[in-house]
């Protein structure tokens, strides 16, 4: 009772090579920059794209096996597909859209009510808000009792206001449905909130697959670190002393890391591992970088401060107390264990 | 401003002149002559058959072409557009040497006991030949302008290809198809060169309204004027309906002369 997908398919400048198993009730998110092959995976699972070689099994039913010449058409695969921008039929009203996927003669009103769009049954699609469109698309995709759910950028069509609320709702829905679900997004935060496991995709390959916590704690390389939110800085290892590595960053500053490495490297520092002060502190932390504040940006109750090349994420309250404004000199501090070094 | 006035005057004066030459009452009575009524009947019959053929065969053909990509698509669209730029006299000669008694298929048709040239069938063939590209081009463009995610979504929702066509593609391309049909109709109505060469101008058989104008020019000038004014009204009606449907669909480029390349999905 799961989804199994394994395929290889040539894209413009690289081949997408994927091997993924998603258990029942599990959500796997694939994150990566646009053009990394995220949507290709969903198209292969749904049958909209036939890969050069591959195998797809939904609930133990093999729907694609290029070796045995099996290729079940999309309309016969039990797949619920939430398209990017939702792909609602503009010539049908809300009920018409949902009925399109439902069994012939089935009453869709309970499904509409479940997604709180019962009142909108006769509404034209163009009159709906982003959140309502998403609920219509979800109701439509679930009308056929799919055995697997595919979500393509489910939140990117929403504005910042509705996003957080819809994200929480979607998370709850995925938990209730108990289906294997594959979600693709370019936003690591969305992936981390919605999925049990996250795969970081680059040029058609999954670089690392793990829980969001695992990815942040132990990124396999600088790309994963960067995609999960770290600031990545190129530099050169200049000395190794008592198990510590000193890296001279290309900008001229140097810092200590507990990772061992040599030669040209990338250093990754997560913003939430960096604290900010106005004086040089005397504590266990080895890295204190004194530089001018480049930018201060508030997001909710957190503030992102850029000091020299380093980005720190601190509470809005602390930022206010320190009176951080661009131009003043501040100190960014972090432990040597917070500076992860990857060979370049 | 002045130039625009000159352009409008130049373009509209001949049209106005048709109506100003004789009183409207005379125009209406001239339409009652046998020649005019015969021509109206021949035109109605032949254009109806042509339009049915164009819509029934042309719509699925346009849909299939709209699903192709790259060089094949571009080649097909260009081939379909060829009759559009062809001089009508060439179309007439071509039809004659293809379907005429001494033509390419003439022997085969003869053996079947069919003689097409100078019959209503010939008129239908000539009208269909010159008018269908107008419909095909617009139909291809309007199928291609449908967001490819919509038919894809329909398929994941359990719709087979036929259902995708009838329930999604056809309704979404409807405005463009209507505009294309109207343009083809207008072109078919005015068809002259190919018809006179391939079908001749036999009153009551192959003499359409456009041919009747030419014929009556020497016989009864008022009848020629009356038929002209009728065709002006019909053409204006077609143009107006195209404008209204495209405006209603806001921004659909149904009147553009050549189909642009389809947008590609990533």
B→A interface, C-beta within 8 Å: 147, 149-150, 152-160, 167-168, 171-172, 266
Q: What is the pLDDT of residue B261?
A: 44
Q: With DSSP H G I counted as helix, E B as strand and the rest as coil, what are the percentages for chain A, rounded to 5?
A: 25, 40, 35
The whole-number pLDDT of residue B248 equals 58
Whether the predicted pLDDT of B211 surpasses 70: yes
pLDDT band at residue B259 using 50, 70 and 90 as cut-offs = very low
The 10s digit of each residue's pLDDT in B18-41 is 999 888 888 889 999 999 999 999
| Count of domains forming chain B | 1
Which residues of B are less than 8 Å from A133 in CB distance? none
**Which positions 173-212 of A are in contact with B (Cβ < 8 Å)?**
none
Position B254 pLDDT exceeds 70: no
Q: Are A303 and A296 in contact (CB under 8 A)?
A: yes
The reply to whether B82 falls in a domain is: yes
Please judge whether A87 and B150 are an interchain contact, meaning their C-beta atoms are less than 8 angstroms apart: yes
Residue B44 is assigned to a structural domain of this protein: yes
CA distance linking residue B143 with residue B196, whole number of Å = 34
CATH classification at residue B49: 1.10.3720.10
Q: Is the CB of residue B38 less than 8 Å from the CB of residue B123?
A: no
**Per-residue pLDDT tens for A168-225?**
999 999 999 999 999 999 999 899 999 999 999 999 999 999 999 999 989 999 999 9
Q: Return the structure tokens found at B61.
A: 């053909």
d(CA A29, CA A50): 22
pTM above 0.90, yes or no: no
Q: Say whether pLDDT at B250 is over 90.
A: no
pLDDT at B1: 86
Nearest to B199 by CA among B126, B128, B130: B126
User: Looking at per-residue confidence, does A160 or B160 come out higher?
Assistant: B160
Q: Is residue B151 part of a domain?
A: yes
Q: Write the pLDDT tens digit of every residue in B78-105.
A: 999 998 888 888 999 999 899 888 788 8
User: What is the layout of strands, in order, in the sheet containing A205-210?
Assistant: A70-71, A61-65, A53-58, A2-10, A15-23, A205-210, A197-202, A27-31, A181-185, A148-152, A79-82
Question: What residues contact residue A69 under an 8 Å CB cut-off, 6+ apart?
Answer: none
Contact B153 A91 (CB under 8 A): no
Contacts of residue B41, defined as CB under 8 A and 6 or more positions apart, other chains included, come to: B204
Q: What is the chain A residue with the closest CA to B171?
A: A91
What average pLDDT does this structure show over B45-57? 97
Q: What's the ipTM?
A: 0.85
Confidence of residue B116 (pLDDT cuts 50, 70, 90): confident
Contact B157 A143 (CB under 8 A): yes
Give contacts of A32 with chain B, Cβ < 8 Å. Answer: none
Residues 6+ apart with CB under 8 A from A117: A94, A132, A135, A136, A139
Chain B positions in Cβ-Cβ contact with residue A39 (cut-off 8 Å) = 266
How far is residue B47's CA from residue B55's CA, in Å, rounded to a whole number? Answer: 12
β-pairing, A275-277 with A310-315?
unpaired
Mapping DSSP onto H, E and C, the string for A225-243 reads: HHHCCCEEEEEEEEEEECC
Q: What is the pLDDT of residue B247?
A: 66
Q: Does B147 score more than 70 pLDDT?
A: yes
Q: Do the Cβ atoms of A89 and B159 come within 8 Å?
A: no
**Are B149 and A91 an interchain contact pair (Cβ–Cβ within 8 Å)?**
no
Spans of chain A, pLDDT less than 70 = 1
Domains and CATH numbers, chain A: 2-78+146-224 (3.40.50.300), 230-343 (2.40.50.100)
Pairing of strands A53-58, A2-10: antiparallel
Q: Looking at the complex, does the CB of residue A85 fall below 8 Å from at least one CB of chain B?
A: yes
Shortest CA distance to B122 belongs to which of B212, B35, B45?
B45
Q: Which residues of B touch A46 (CB under 8 A)?
A: 156
Question: A124 and chain B: CB distance < 8 Å anywhere?
Answer: no
> Tell me, what's the pLDDT at A253?
86
Q: Which residues 6+ apart lie within 8 Å of B25 measured at CB?
A: none
d(CA A250, CA A229): 20
Query: Residue A83 and residue B152: Cβ atoms within 8 Å?
Result: yes
Name the residue of chain B whose CA is nearest to A74's CA.
Answer: B156
Cα separation of B251 and B28, whole Å?
A: 39
Mutate to test the interface with A, among B145, B154, B158, B171 (most CBs of A within 10 A): B158
d(CA A313, CA A276): 9
DSSP state of A4: E
A63 interface with B at CB cutoff 8 Å = no
pLDDT at B249: 56
Domain that holds residue B139: 38-206
* Residue A141: per-residue pLDDT: 95
Element (H, E) at B14: helix B2-20
State pLDDT tens for residues A109-147. 999 999 999 999 999 999 999 999 999 999 999 998 999
Asked if B153 and A83 come within 8 Å (Cβ–Cβ), the reply is yes
Rounded Cα distance, A249 and A236, in Å: 6
CB-based contact (8 Å) between A140 and chain B?
yes
Residue B61 lies in a domain: yes
Joined tokens for residue A26:
């599990």
The count of C-alpha atoms lying within 13 angstroms of the C-alpha of A318, restricted to the half-sphere facing its C-beta, is 14
């Amino acid at each position: 009772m799961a989804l199994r997908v394994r395929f290889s398919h040539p894209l413009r400048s690289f081949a997408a090579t994927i091997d993924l198993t998603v258990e029942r009730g599990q959500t796997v998110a694939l994150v990566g920059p646009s053009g990394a092959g995220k949507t290709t995976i969903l198209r292969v699972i749904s049958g909209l794209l036939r890969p050069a070689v591959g195998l797809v099994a939904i609930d133990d039913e093999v729907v694609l096996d290029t070796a045995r010449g099996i290729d079940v058409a999309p309309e016969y695969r039990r797949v619920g597909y939430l398209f990017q921008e939702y792909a609602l039929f503009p010539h049908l009203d809300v009920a018409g859209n949902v009925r399109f996927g439902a069994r012939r003669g089935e009453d869709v009103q309970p499904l509409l009510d479940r997604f709180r769009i019962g009142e909108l049954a006769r509404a034209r699609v163009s009159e709906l808000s982003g959140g309502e469109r998403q609920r219509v698309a979800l109701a439509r995709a679930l009308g056929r009792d799919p055995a697997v759910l595919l979500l393509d950028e489910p939140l990117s069509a929403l504005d910042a206001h509705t996003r957080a609320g819809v994200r929480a709702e979607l998370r709850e829905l995925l938990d209730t449905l108990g289906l294997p679900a594959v979600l693709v997004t370019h936003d690591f935060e969305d992936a981390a909130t919605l999925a049990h496991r996250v795969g970081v995709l680059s040029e058609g390959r999954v670089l690392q697959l793990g829980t969001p916590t695992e990815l942040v704690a132990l990124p396999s390389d600088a790309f994963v670190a960067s995609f999960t939110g770290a600031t990545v800085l190129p530099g050169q290892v200049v000395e190794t002393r008592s198990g510590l590595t000193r890296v001279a960053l290309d900008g001229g500053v140097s810092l200590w890391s507990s990772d061992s490495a040599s030669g040209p490297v990338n250093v990754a520092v997560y913003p939430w591992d960096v604290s900010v002060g106005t004086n040089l502190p005397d504590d266990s932390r080895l890295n204190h970088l004194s530089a001018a504040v480049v930018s201060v940006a508030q997001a909710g109750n957190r503030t992102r401060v850029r000091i020299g090349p380093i980005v720190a994420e601190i509470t809005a309250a602390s930022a206010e107390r320190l009176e951080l404004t661009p131009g003043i000199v501040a100190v960014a501090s972090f432990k040597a264990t917070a500076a992860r070094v990857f060979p370049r | 401003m002045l130039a625009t006035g000159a352009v409008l005057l130049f373009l509209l004066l001949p049209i106005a002149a048709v109506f100003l030459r004789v009183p409207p009452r005379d125009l209406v009575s001239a339409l009652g002559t046998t020649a005019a009524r015969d021509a109206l009947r021949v035109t109605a019959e032949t254009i109806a058959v042509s339009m049915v053929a164009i819509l029934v065969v042309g719509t699925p053909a346009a849909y299939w072409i709209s699903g192709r990509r790259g060089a094949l698509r571009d080649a097909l669209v260009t081939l379909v557009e060829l009759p559009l730029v062809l001089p009508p006299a060439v179309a007439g000669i071509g039809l004659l040497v293809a379907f005429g008694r001494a033509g390419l298929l003439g022997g085969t048709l003869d053996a079947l006991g069919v003689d097409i040239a100078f019959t209503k069938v010939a008129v239908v063939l000539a009208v269909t030949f010159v008018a269908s590209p107008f419909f095909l081009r617009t139909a291809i463009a309007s199928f291609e302008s449908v967001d490819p995610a919509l038919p894809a979504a329909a398929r994941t929702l359990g719709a087979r290809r036929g259902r995708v066509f009838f329930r999604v593609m056809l309704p979404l391309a409807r405005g463009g198809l209507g505009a294309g049909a109207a343009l083809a109709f207008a072109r078919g109505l005015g068809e002259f060169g190919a018809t006179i060469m391939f079908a001749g101008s036999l009153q009551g058989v192959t003499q359409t309204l456009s041919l009747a104008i030419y014929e009556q020019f020497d016989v009864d000038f008022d009848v020629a004027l009356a038929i002209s004014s009728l065709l002006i009204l019909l053409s204006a009606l077609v143009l107006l309906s195209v404008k209204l449907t495209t405006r209603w669909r806001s921004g659909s480029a149904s009147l553009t002369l050549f189909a642009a390349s389809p947008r590609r999905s990533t």
